[in-house]
């Protein structure tokens, strides 16, 4: 599987190679591809008409045939170029639509793939690098099609047309155009072989620079707080310099563009050859002019191919980078045929082991406990013992290394992934809010929720009062990640978001850590009310929440060292007594400071 969740599969590109990938998208737009090719061929064919009629006029004048032939030739040139202009408009219009649609389709496909990638994938990928591929690399595919491929196809016909027209003037005149065409193809192959790896280096260095910039901006508060602006600026400047150096190396390759030398040689050789034939009386002066004009058509592919083949190399390198994401495998899958029933809420972990990707260190080892449906369990332990990891195994953000996680007696791997996750709500300490209205953030898990439902959920979460005081109430747009709100306000909105979805399983991962004691008392009552009839998992340092849990699991070093009720653990578990005593001490210090 290349994704754990498939958002949409209306079209699947051929992902076996960059070339197949590009062709599969090209074939999605056959009409515009055909009209672009027709326009390109007509452009070259009608361009060759001009030197032909000029040659006719030269012959007529030198032979004294009068102005009738000259006038007819002029009118033919004007008519042919008007037709050429109309077909060029069709070609350019088609190529632009062609390129824009391919960019749209590739970006749509890539975005859908990114949504479906597992958290293991996203944990290992810098956001800035991903954004470089979603934006800049996809844009390079657009530019590869237009003007890149548009010019390559068009210039290709300009190479072919003289091969057809030259022997019609005199058979031996095909020799130099044919030699040029063969040399041109061989030189371009060598040019592309040299250019392609350098284009890939440019794309890689740009991605690294973009990743660093995104990370620095994401952590700007830390950078400023530590007064490290100059150091970060220096690191970014070094990455910019890498992009510059890679681009310069690409420019050096482009500067050694041999076809320009070939063009000069073929023009000189062609004129010399035609002049010899004229001197021997084999062709007329008009034929010399016509042939030289045909040879001059080689100028268009020579002068445009340097740019167009560079654009093609950049687009091909970008296609490789996009495919690297699309083809990344994951063990998680959507499991469309899996169990899709309503969850009752019973949770069991059976001998669960887990280690995060790219590390051999086991975060969880032989963890086993059960939570009956509708009950509340608190998971306690020091930082780093795997409490949050357990919650991510329950909703199958990650899969266990060994053992099983069961919901209602069914392994989570046997559930339909979307159905499973839609019935589990997790409220974490690090709350993420989208840059949209508060109402939209609250109804995110249930887009069809009415404003009355949103207000009711916010009221339960003790958020309605502060929301009502905001300038635009529930329509107030929060900043990125909710930075315009306090930590406690963000957590209350997250709790309201959970209340709207009314999930059978509610997981609270230290979700009241940023809330003052007075607010906590109110939210505590709301959580207590909300937990009735649903399975609730608490990860908390709040003694008030630990006490009222039906069952408590004590973790130490990734293992379950004790479990039971609060009173049982106080009486029988030294590990729990130490943790509980530390929590009481921290609570007392906090209260005295308050």
Give the Cβ contact number of residue 185 at 10 Å: 11
pLDDT at 122: 76
Going by pLDDT thresholds of 50, 70 and 90, the confidence category of residue 579 is confident
Question: Minimal CA–CA distance to 178: which of 294, 256, 280?
Answer: 294
Distance CA 593, CA 589 (A): 6
Residues 375 and 406 in one domain: yes
* Residue 463 domain-assigned (yes or no): no
Choose the final residue of a domain: 326, 361, 383. 326
**pLDDT of 483 strictly over 70:** no
| Residue 147, preceding peptide bond in cis (omega within 30° of 0) | yes
Distance CA 177, CA 294 (A): 9
CA pseudo-torsion sign 60, 61, 66, 69: positive
> Is 483 strand, coil or helix?
coil
* Residue 459 domain-assigned (yes or no): no
Residues 118 and 63 in one domain: yes
Q: Are 253 and 194 a contacting pair, CB within 8 Å?
A: yes
Distance CA 48, CA 29 (A): 29
Residues 419 and 550 in one domain: yes
Going by pLDDT thresholds of 50, 70 and 90, the confidence category of residue 525 is low
pLDDT at 204: 85
Q: Are 501 and 425 a contacting pair, CB within 8 Å?
A: yes
* Residue 458 domain-assigned (yes or no): no
Q: Are 531 and 376 a contacting pair, CB within 8 Å?
A: yes
> Is 406 strand, coil or helix?
strand
Residues 274 and 313 in one domain: yes
**pLDDT of 583 strictly over 70:** no
**Helix or strand run (H / E) with residue 562:** strand 559-564
Residues 304 and 378 in one domain: no
Distance CA 33, CA 573 (A): 74
Residues 358 and 272 in one domain: no
Question: Cβ contacts of residue 200 below 8 Å, gap of 6+?
Answer: 317, 320
pLDDT at 56: 85
Q: How many residues does the chain have?
A: 594
CA pseudo-torsion sign 233, 236, 242, 248: negative
Of the CA atoms within 13 Å of residue 359, those in its CB half-sphere come to 10
Choose the final residue of a domain: 291, 326, 361. 326
Taking only the tens place, the pLDDT of each residue in 113-129 is 888 777 777 777 777 78
Considering the chain, what percentage of its residues have pLDDT values greater than 90? 29
Distance CA 567, CA 565 (A): 6
* Residue 500 domain-assigned (yes or no): no
Distance CA 139, CA 129 (A): 15
Going by pLDDT thresholds of 50, 70 and 90, the confidence category of residue 435 is confident
* Residue 576 domain-assigned (yes or no): yes
Count of domains forming the chain: 2
Q: Taking residues 574-584, what's their average pLDDT?
A: 75
Contacts by residues 389-392 (CB-CB < 8 Å, ≥ 24 positions apart): 389/354, 389/363, 389/364, 390/349, 390/352, 390/364, 390/537, 391/426, 391/507, 391/509, 391/537, 391/539, 392/119
Residues 82 and 182 in one domain: yes
Q: Taking residues 141-169, what's their average pLDDT?
A: 91
Q: Are 5 and 12 a contacting pair, CB within 8 Å?
A: no
Taking only the tens place, the pLDDT of each residue in 257-312 is 778 888 889 999 999 999 999 999 899 888 999 999 999 999 999 888 878 888 88
Residues 312 and 383 in one domain: no
Residues 102 and 156 in one domain: yes
Going by pLDDT thresholds of 50, 70 and 90, the confidence category of residue 586 is low
Residues 101 and 186 in one domain: yes
Q: Taking residues 432-451, what's their average pLDDT?
A: 88
* Residue 2 domain-assigned (yes or no): no
* Residue 376 domain-assigned (yes or no): yes
Strands ordered across the beta sheet of 505-509: 424-427, 505-509, 535-539, 376-380, 551-556, 559-564
* Residue 157 domain-assigned (yes or no): yes
Choose the final residue of a domain: 280, 296, 326. 326
Q: Are 294 and 51 a contacting pair, CB within 8 Å?
A: yes
**pLDDT of 592 strictly over 70:** no
- Domain containing 302 equals 18-195+250-326
Question: Cβ contacts of residue 383 below 8 Å, gap of 6+?
Answer: none
Hey, which bits of 475-523 come out as E strands? 505-509
CA 554 to chain centre: 41
**pLDDT of 201 strictly over 80:** yes
For residue 418, the domain's CATH number is 3.40.50.300
Residues 383 and 418 in one domain: yes
Residues 300 and 399 in one domain: no
Question: Cβ contacts of residue 378 below 8 Å, gap of 6+?
Answer: 537, 538, 539, 540, 545, 546, 549, 551, 552, 553
User: What are the C-alpha distances in Å from 131 to residues 7, 156, 323?
Assistant: 19, 35, 14
- Helices 517-531 and 451-460 cross at an angle (nearest 10°) of 120
Which has more confidence, 179 or 488?
A: 179
Distance CA 193, CA 197 (A): 7
**pLDDT of 548 strictly over 90:** no
* Average pLDDT, rounded, for the chain: 84
Taking only the tens place, the pLDDT of each residue in 40-82 is 999 999 999 999 988 888 888 877 766 788 888 889 999 999 9
């Amino acid at each position: 599987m290349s994704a754990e969740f498939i958002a949409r599969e209306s079209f699947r590109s051929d992902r076996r190679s960059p070339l197949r990938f590009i062709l599969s998208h090209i074939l999605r737009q056959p009409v515009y591809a055909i009209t672009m090719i027709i326009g390109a061929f007509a452009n070259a064919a009608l361009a060759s008409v001009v030197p032909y009629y000029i040659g006719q006029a030269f012959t007529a004048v030198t032979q004294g045939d009068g102005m009738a032939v000259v006038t007819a030739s002029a009118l033919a040139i004007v008519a042919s170029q008007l037709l050429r202009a109309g077909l060029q408009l069709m070609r350019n219009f088609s190529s632009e639509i062609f390129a824009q649609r391919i960019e749209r389709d590739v970006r749509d496909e890539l975005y859908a793939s990114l949504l479906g990638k597992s958290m293991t994938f996203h944990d290992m990928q810098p956001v800035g690098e991903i954004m470089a591929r979603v934006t800049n690399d996809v844009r390079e595919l657009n530019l590869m099609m237009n003007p890149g491929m548009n010019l390559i196809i068009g210039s290709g016909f300009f190479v072919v047309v003289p091969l057809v027209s030259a022997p019609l003037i005199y058979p031996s005149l095909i020799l130099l155009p044919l030699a040029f065409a063969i040399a041109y193809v061989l030189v371009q192959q060598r040019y592309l072989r040299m250019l392609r790896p350098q284009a890939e280096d440019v794309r890689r260095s740009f991605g690294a620079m973009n990743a660093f910039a995104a990370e620095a901006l994401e952590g700007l508060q830390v950078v400023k707080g530590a007064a490290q602006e100059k150091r970060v600026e220096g690191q970014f400047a070094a990455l910019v310099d890498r992009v510059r150096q890679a681009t310069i190396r690409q420019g050096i390759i482009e500067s050694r563009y041999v076809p320009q030398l070939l063009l000069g040689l073929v023009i000189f050789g062609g004129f010399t050859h035609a002049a010899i034939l004229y001197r021997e009386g084999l062709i007329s002066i008009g034929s010399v002019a016509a042939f030289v004009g045909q040879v001059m058509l080689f100028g268009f592919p020579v002068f445009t191919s340097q740019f167009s083949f560079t654009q093609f190399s950049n687009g091909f390198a970008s296609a490789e980078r996009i495919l690297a994401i699309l083809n990344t495998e994951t063990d998680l899958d959507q499991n469309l045929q899996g169990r899709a029933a309503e969850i009752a809420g019973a949770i069991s972990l059976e001998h669960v082991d887990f280690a995060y990707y790219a590390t051999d260190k086991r975060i969880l080892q032989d963890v086993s406990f059960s939570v009956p449906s509708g009950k509340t369990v608190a998971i306690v332990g020091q930082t780093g013992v795997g409490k949050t990891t357990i919650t991510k195994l329950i909703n199958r953000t990650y899969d266990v290394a060994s053992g099983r996680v069961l919901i209602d007696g069914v392994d989570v791997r046997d559930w339909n992934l979307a159905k499973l996750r839609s019935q589990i709500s997790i409220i974490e300490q690090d709350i993420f809010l989208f840059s949209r209205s508060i109402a939209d953030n609250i109804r995110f898990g249930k887009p069809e929720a009415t404003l009355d439902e949103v207000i009711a959920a916010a009221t339960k979460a003790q958020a309605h009062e502060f929301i009502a005081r905001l300038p635009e109430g529930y329509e107030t747009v929060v900043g990125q990640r909710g930075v315009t709100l306090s930590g406690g306000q963000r957590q209350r909105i997250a709790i309201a978001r959970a209340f709207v979805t009314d999930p059978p399983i509610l997981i609270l991962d230290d979700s009241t850590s940023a809330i003052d004691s007075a607010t906590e008392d109110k939210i505590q009552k709301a959580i207590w009310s909300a937990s009735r009839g649903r399975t609730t998992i608490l990860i908390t340092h709040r003694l008030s929440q630990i006490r009222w849990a039906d069952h408590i699991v004590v973790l130490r070093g990734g293992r379950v060292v004790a479990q039971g009720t609060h009173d049982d653990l106080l009486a029988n578990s030294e590990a729990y007594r130490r943790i509980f005593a530390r929590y009481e001490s921290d609570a007392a210090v906090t209260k005295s400071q308050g």
